[in-house]
Amino acid sequence: MAQFKPALILGALIAVGMIIAGWILGNSALRIKQYERVVSVKGLSEREVKADVAVWPIRFSAGSQDLAELYANMEQQTLQIQNFLKTEGFKPEEITTGAPVTTDKYAQQYGGDANVALRYAAHQTITVYTHNIEQVRAAQTRLAELGKKGIAFNGEDSGQRTEYLFTQLNDIKPAMIEEATQNARSVAEKFAADSQSRLGKIKTANQGLFSIEDRDSNTPYLKKVRVVSTVEYYLAD
């Protein structure tokens, strides 16, 4: 019988050890489960800003039966538009002049010159790139004066819409992220209070993407900047 005592003692010790280990693991699992109580919330930050860059394409066209005459006409119109822009206060480095694009309508159809009033047609684009938004808007209202002198401008329907850009996003990013995070925390605190819990530390946080859109279709020079942050918080009793 004495020879079985060491085995019995060893078995008892192993059993006690397993009980203790099970209690520790169970207690740890309980704590882990408690920490897994989380709430996921979104925080929004929006700002209205003014565009700081304008890209204004001015497209004009002309037609003629004589190719040399057409090029001379386009050159004259180009000088008129360039002088107009300089008179409006735009700097030479803000003005870019593209080459004219010419089309021979006879070469585009069967049957020679049937139903073609003018054989040659050309269009050209002068682009203004500037930080002076108000200067662009003011000049656009006076561009019609050149139309009265015989220059035919193509409108926005031909893809020549003025583009307004906001390029200073990095200047407002930190403040907007902070605001979105604070809004998310306010929502989380309200949820925790309603569920009779306490708000714990942040488990995960996702900044989200910034979006820049026109405020509306009538004022494209005013932009709406938006970001949504998603934050997960631990909940505790």
Instruction: Specify whether the CB–CB gap between 143 and 67 falls below 8 A.
Output: no
Give the per-residue pLDDT at 84.
Answer: 96
105 located within any domain: yes
Q: What is the pTM of this model?
A: 0.75
17 located within any domain: no
Q: Do 161 and 82 sit in the same domain of this protein?
A: yes
**Which residue in the block uniquely carries the two structure tokens 């989200």?**
208
Answer yes or no: is pLDDT of 125 > 60: yes
Q: Do 79 and 112 sit in the same domain of this protein?
A: yes
> Is residue 116 helix, strand or coil?
coil
Classify the C-alpha dihedral 6-12-18-24 as positive or negative.
negative
Q: Do 57 and 160 sit in the same domain of this protein?
A: yes
* Buried b or exposed e, range 99-126, using 16+ CB within 10 angstroms: ebeeeeeeeeeeeeeeebeebbbbbbbb
Nearest Cα to 225, choosing from 50, 32, 25? 50
Which residues are CB-contacts of 96 (< 8 A; sequence separation ≥ 6)?
Answer: 126, 127, 128, 129
Answer yes or no: is pLDDT of 208 > 90: no
Decide the pairing of beta strands 198-206 and 101-104: unpaired
Q: Do 110 and 57 sit in the same domain of this protein?
A: yes
Q: Do 60 and 157 sit in the same domain of this protein?
A: yes
Taking residues 7-14, what's their average pLDDT? 57
Q: Which domain holds residue 193?
A: 37-52+166-237
> Is residue 193 helix, strand or coil?
helix
Give the per-residue pLDDT at 207.
Answer: 85
Q: Do 160 and 103 sit in the same domain of this protein?
A: yes
Distance, CA of 178 to CA of 2 (rounded, Å): 74
Instruction: Specify whether the CB–CB gap between 78 and 95 falls below 8 A.
Output: no
Q: Do 176 and 196 sit in the same domain of this protein?
A: yes
Domain edge (last residue) among 146, 165, 184:
165
Q: What DSSP designation does 6 have?
A: H
100 located within any domain: yes
Token pair recorded at residue 9: 């003692």
> Could you read off the pLDDT of 30-81 as tens digits, one per residue?
454 455 688 889 999 999 999 999 999 999 999 999 999 999 999 999 999 9
Instruction: Specify whether the CB–CB gap between 177 and 45 falls below 8 A.
Output: yes
Taking residues 174-179, what's their average pLDDT? 94
117 located within any domain: yes
Domain edge (last residue) among 165, 190, 223:
165
> Could you read off the pLDDT of 177-206 as tens digits, one per residue?
999 999 999 999 998 888 888 888 888 988
Distance, CA of 116 to CA of 162 (rounded, Å): 32
For residue 108, give the CATH number of its domain.
Answer: 3.30.70.2970
Answer yes or no: is pLDDT of 11 > 80: no
Q: Percent of the chain beyond pLDDT 70?
A: 80
10 located within any domain: no
Q: Which residue has the higher pLDDT, 3 or 131?
A: 131
Q: Do 61 and 75 sit in the same domain of this protein?
A: yes
Q: Which residue has the higher pLDDT, 225 or 106?
A: 225
For residue 207, give the CATH number of its domain.
Answer: 3.30.110.170
CA 163 to chain centre: 13
Q: What are the backbone dihedrals phi and psi of residue 84, each rounded to the nearest 5 degrees, phi first?
A: -60, -45
Instruction: Specify whether the CB–CB gap between 98 and 127 falls below 8 A.
Output: yes
Arithmetic mean of pLDDT over the chain: 85
Decide the pairing of beta strands 53-64 and 120-130: antiparallel
How many independent structural domains does the chain possess? Answer: 2
Domain edge (last residue) among 132, 165, 198:
165
Q: Do 172 and 204 sit in the same domain of this protein?
A: yes
Distance, CA of 64 to CA of 72 (rounded, Å): 11
Q: Do 62 and 161 sit in the same domain of this protein?
A: yes
Give the per-residue pLDDT at 35.
Answer: 52
Q: What DSSP designation does 159 have?
A: T
Give the per-residue pLDDT at 77.
Answer: 96
Give the per-residue pLDDT at 158.
Answer: 53
Give the per-residue pLDDT at 164.
Answer: 97
Q: Do 101 and 123 sit in the same domain of this protein?
A: yes
pLDDT band at 100 (very low <50, low <70, confident <90, very high): very high
18 located within any domain: no
> Could you read off the pLDDT of 159-168 as tens digits, one per residue?
578 999 999 9
218 located within any domain: yes
Q: Do 89 and 176 sit in the same domain of this protein?
A: no
95 located within any domain: yes
pLDDT band at 17 (very low <50, low <70, confident <90, very high): low
